Structure formats: C-alpha cells, structure tokens
Amino acid sequence: ISQMAVGRSLDTLFNLQISRSALARIKTTSAKLYEGTYRSILNRIVLGKLVHVDETMVKLGNGTGYVWAFTNMMDVAYVFSETREASTPKKILGDFNGVLVTDFYAAYDSIECQQQKCLIHLMRDINEDVLKNAFNEEMEELAHAFAGILRPMIETIDRYGLKARFLRHHE
C-alpha cells in the first residue's frame, strides 16, 4: 500500500499523525535495520529442498513493477524488480538445486533445477478455459476428471498435512 495509505491507517488505528517524510525515514531505517534478517530468510529459502515462486504486477506512482514471492512453506521473502524478466528469479535462486514449484510462466523454464508446476494454478487455468468455452463438453469433462483426482489429495493434506505415508496411496 502507499505511504499515504499507511499514514491514514496509523491515524485511524492509533491516532498517530505522521508526515509522509517521517514515514519515508521510518521505512528507510527499518529496511536497513532488518537487512540481515531479510538476507538470512532468503538464504534459508534458497538453501532448502523446495521453493515456490510467484510474481505479481504492482502499480507504482510512476508506472509498474513486479513483486516476486519466494517461499519454502516456512519462510517467505519478497523481491521487487522493475521487469518480469527471468533474470530476477535466476539471480535470487542462484545455485538452488531443490524442486522449484511455479505457475506456467515460461520464464521459470530457464532456471536449471527440478521443476513442478503448481496444481492449483493448473486447476485455475482449466476452470478459466471451461468458462471461456461454456459449450465445450470435452473441456468440462476434463475439468471434472482433474478435480476428481485433486480433491482426495487436498482432503488428505487438509487432514494429515504433507506426510508422505498418507500421500503414498495417491500415487
């Protein structure tokens, strides 16, 4: 959210009137103070066996940029870049050698490691295709069949977590 929105929220929630310049100084000071913490979180993510990555466009006062989310299911780190080019995740992941879970954005394909596509993104994309092709019975059958495969897995995860012994019967 914008610094103006942060200022309004601080005023509304805590009756604190803080100028935009003071907010900017607080943000800069906090970023410096927590730089080491941020780097250690990012390092834990990259040194792990599993990383989920996704990016989203953000509107800025003078244009747009992208925020990339990197997570290992315990930690999350956000990285800003001006573009959506593959150079950002490549630079962040460096020598990562675990499994990378992503959506279907082609830029991720250039990262050299084992990869898995996110099943939730796939299901969302299939659902969007069903809506766009409302009279395509074959597409609808595919969506129902895939949901029928995914649903029991998600129920198992909801009930037992990601424990391999419970997930094996879905192989």
Of 152, 126, 150, nearest in space to 138 by CA: 126
Q: How far apart are CA 104 and CA 108, in angstroms?
A: 8
pLDDT score of 158: 92
pLDDT score of 2: 79
Q: How far apart are CA 5 and CA 106, in angstroms?
A: 35
pLDDT score of 93: 95
pLDDT score of 60: 87
What does each C-alpha distance from 131 to 41, 62, 135 come to in angstroms? 40, 35, 9
Asked if 88 and 71 count as a contact pair (C-beta separation under 8 A), the reply is no
pTM for this one?
Answer: 0.76
One digit per residue, the tens of pLDDT, for the chain of length 171 reads 778 899 999 999 999 999 989 999 999 999 999 999 999 999 999 999 999 999 999 998 889 999 999 999 899 999 999 999 999 999 999 989 999 999 999 999 999 999 999 888 888 888 999 999 989 999 999 999 988 988 999 899 999 988 889 989 888
Q: How far apart are CA 37 and CA 14, in angstroms?
A: 27
pLDDT score of 41: 97
